[in-house]
Chains A and B, each alone.
Chain A
Amino acid sequence: MKKLSEQERRDQLRNKIIGLGEKSIRKSYYPELQQRIAELEKTNTELRQEIAVRKKAEKTNVRLEQQLQQAMKMEAIGTLAGGIAHDFNNILTAIIGYTDLARLNVEKHCGSENCPLSLNLDHLLAAGHRARELVKQILTFSRQQKRENVPVQLSAIVREALKLLRSTIPASIEIREKFVSDEGHIMADPTQIHQIVMNLCTNSYHAMRENGGILAVKLYETEMDSADIRVDRLQLRPGTFMVLEISDSGVGMNRMVLERIFDPYFTTKEESGGTGMGLAVVHGIIREHNGHISVYSEPGEGTTFKVFLPQIIASVQTHVVRQLEELPAGTERILLVDDEEFVLNLEKEILEKLGYQVTTFLNPLEALDVYDTHMDEFDLVMTDMTMPKMTGAQLVAEIVARNPQAAVIICTGFSELINERKAKALGASEYVMKPFVLREIATTLRKVLDADA
């Protein structure tokens, strides 16, 4: 390599000072740095948001998990308590029966109504009756009591209960009502629903006894579709629910108490004579009505109960009349089968409003007998799926065997897993889901009847 002359060396160094070829000029390193900082900040923000979302989801999960556990616990307690109560009821029957007998015998022997033995037996009888009351409550909680479900306008019952409460609750407690949906109906035992309102409101009153406050009662609707996480976790049927919200501004509850409030015999009101059965009974009633109860409370912040009850279509008269003109109607003759009288009547009314001629049967066997002899007098058969004596599927099979051209619609509740393919396989023309949606039933009917014609 040629050795550089002094002049060349100097020129080379001079050019380096001027530095045109330099890559590492500091300024060029700024944008990268700033860009990197910006990127990191953005990533950071995104990460923070993600963490927040996750935390929220975890919280929801924990809450739902707790609700599930609670439901399972209540189920177990209910089964246990119900079993014991039944056995105990039998024993009580013997105790009370023989006490009654003994009383009669004592009166005969003693000849006096004021016989000390007789008085003792009276006390024994009174205690026996108190025990039977208790057993009845336990049976309500454990959902083993027979009840009469009818369509009920929830707001009417709540209003009635509140009227009663207003006269007993002191003026230091203000009662605020807000009925967003006044019309909503549920399928329920009115006495039991009344009991729920009375129980919850009495609890609220107790929480505010010292300092007074506000008892707020709200009634509104909410939709839960099958994608709603609550449906799965709380084992509710998707659909419209009436929500009865009862909140107080009272002393509130801590976690320990909250976890146990629905347990039978758990009470915080020993001095004032609480039995610990109030909320347990409420819980039992609500589950029996396919509903759900949730509670939110913080010490010193008051308590809110939310009761979810499935809504039904009941106000047929008002609604059908208004929508009738727009709905596809007809005058064909329909044979309608459902083992539940209320449902049967409701469906009949709906179909008649649409103009159809309806013949109803509670018993599928009877329906089949009539169909045998008067096949030509019916244009369409509509049947429930789940029935004693003969299921809807069997009935459809029999009808199709007699008349392969028969137009048949199967009605099915949520619990019966049926889809279009299954319905067709049974020989039915169509299927509809219960509870009825007016427009859907009207459209389906027309579709089936017109296809036949």
Chain B
Amino acid sequence: MLELRKFVAPEFIFGAGAIDLVGQYARNFGARKALLVSDAGVAATGLTGKIAQILEEDDIDSVLFSTISANPRADEVMNGAEQYVQDGCDIIIAVGGGSPMDCAKGIGIVTTNGRHILDFEGIDNVEVPGPPLICLPTTAGTAADVSQFAIVTNVQERVKIAIVSKTMVPDVALIDPLVTATMDGYLTACTGMDALVHAFEAYVSTANAPILDLHALNAIKLIFENLPAVLQKPDDMELRGKIALASLEAGLAFSNASLGAVHAMAHSCGGLLDMAHGECNAILLDHIVAFNYKEVPHRYKNIAESIGIATAQMDSKTVLKEILLKIRLLKEEIGIEPGLAKKGARAVDISELARKAMADPCMVTNPREATVRDIEVLYEEAL
């Protein structure tokens, strides 16, 4: 309780119509020309055009950079940085899910530090912050808009590298739940599960803290209560708002407390097999909860209480059983099937996946110290 802690978060605006403030915020930075970082899917919805128009009204030029893969690649980040410099931009505005936002963070630090994006791998390796960065998330889960994390794929090594640094925290996040309604059902489910995993891992992280616990537990509660409902009623903006809030709270928690084995292993899958991040997280979650449980049962008990499990009469094993059941039921309800094999993972990949997961910075704060063999076993169980 008395450990020195700090809480890092960007200035954020949450609520319907938040994205309309982008011009005002860009102007506050004295911006003249913005690099709009997005992806083809988001650009096709017309959202980037709308943002460009809002900026235009504030007399700010913009140029679109949208050649980004679902898991942003190092060379894409470098291309974006080149465009930023060539077009004489002075602010970066990310519009989209985790991929454009992580890419935008990468572009920023590459331009100010003049180094390759892969040089920044690991914790606290960024010397100079990037130019002003405003994030407009279109998904509810990644929370890259408030976090100090950026994940970039090193294609040669087939590995996702994590860049963890306070300099990666965006300057402003404009979180508009209305925008998340553009997601289809499955993407809503996967990103929602990403948020749930953020909250789970942050809460049991060895770097947890009381102020973060509040957000983590509330995020878990909101996801369990509202994620199936929003899939039933995708146009219910109240429900969209609750999921977006869950994502934000989970983000505030994990950005400061870091994550754990689920993310380390999911990053590994994403790097090697280009699997979808949220989906991977969802498939792995219950296996890792079972593995970690005995290290911090009291904290899992709090999670259980927050999702409506009456733990008072239960012994520790029953609590775990109930939690795992709840997670599996949720996944079933939202249509995420178990089994990494169905998503392209093979038994022969396991040893490499485990080796890479062990090297991931997220593994540092996992509550239970794992060996390579432990991780291999977990992959086998989840296969």
Contact = CB atoms under 8 A, between A and B. Distances in A.
Nearest to A25: B166
B206 A14 contact: yes
Interface in A161-210: none
Interface in A1-31: 6-7, 10, 13-14, 16-20, 22, 24-27, 29-30
A4 to B, nearest CB: 13
B123 A16 contact: yes
Nearest to B256: A18
A19 B9 CA distance: 13
Contacts of B87: none
Contacts of B30: 37
B186 interface: no
Given A13-B123, A29-B129, A24 B166 contact: yes
B207 A18 contact: yes
Contacts of A7: 369
A142 B132 CA distance: 74
Interface string B303-346: 00000000000000000000000000000000000000000000
Bin chain B's interface residue count: 20 to 34
Interface of B: 4-6, 8, 10, 29-30, 123-124, 126-129, 132, 148, 164-167, 169, 171, 206-207, 256-258, 361, 364-365, 369
B5 to A, nearest CB: 6
Interface of A: 6-7, 10, 13-14, 16-20, 22, 24-27, 29-30, 33, 37
Question: What 10 A-B pairs come out closest when comparing CB atoms?
Answer: A13-B364, A25-B166, A16-B123, A17-B258, A37-B30, A16-B124, A26-B129, A24-B167, A22-B166, A14-B207
Contacts of A24: 126-129, 165-167
B129 A19 contact: no
Nearest to B148: A19
A26 B169 contact: yes
28 contacts: A10-B206, A10-B369, A14-B207, A14-B364, A16-B123, A16-B124, A17-B123, A17-B164, A17-B207, A17-B258, A17-B361, A17-B364, A17-B365, A18-B256, A19-B124, A19-B166, A20-B5, A22-B165, A24-B126, A24-B127, A24-B128, A24-B165, A26-B166, A26-B167, A26-B171, A29-B129, A33-B132, A37-B30
- Give the most central of A16, A17, A22: most B CB within 10 Å: A17
Given A19-B8, A24-B167, A37-B30, A14 B365 contact: yes
- Give the most central of A6, A20, A22: most B CB within 10 Å: A22
A6 to B, nearest CB: 7
Contacts, number: 61
Contacts of A16: 123-124
Contacts of B167: 24-26
A26 to B, nearest CB: 5
A22 B124 contact: yes
Contacts of B126: 24
A45 to B, nearest CB: 14
A33 B365 contact: no
A119 B328 CA distance: 136
Nearest to A38: B30
Nearest to B258: A17
Nearest to B132: A33
Given A24-B128, A24-B167, A33 B207 contact: no
A13 B166 CA distance: 14
A30 B166 CA distance: 14
B318 to A, nearest CB: 31
A18 B164 CA distance: 11
A10 B8 CA distance: 21
B357 to A, nearest CB: 15
A29 B169 CA distance: 12
Given A17-B364, A19-B6, A22-B124, 11 more contacts: A7-B369, A10-B369, A14-B206, A16-B123, A17-B258, A19-B8, A20-B4, A24-B128, A29-B129, A33-B29, A33-B132
A13 B364 CA distance: 7
B134 to A, nearest CB: 13
Contacts of B165: 22, 24
Contacts of B364: 10, 13-14, 17
Contacts of A33: 29, 132
Contact of B6 (A18, A26, A29, A30): A18
A387 to B, nearest CB: 74
A246 B157 CA distance: 90
Contacts of B257: 17
A25 B327 CA distance: 36
Nearest to B6: A20
Contacts of A25: 8, 166-167, 169
Contact of B5 (A6, A10, A18, A37): A18
B133 to A, nearest CB: 9
A6 B369 contact: yes
Contacts of A19: 6, 8, 124, 148, 166
A265 B163 CA distance: 87
Nearest to A19: B166
Nearest to B366: A10
A33 B171 CA distance: 12
Contacts of A10: 206, 364, 369
Contacts of B361: 13, 17
Contacts of B169: 25-26
A14 B369 CA distance: 13
Contacts of B5: 18, 20
A6 B363 CA distance: 12
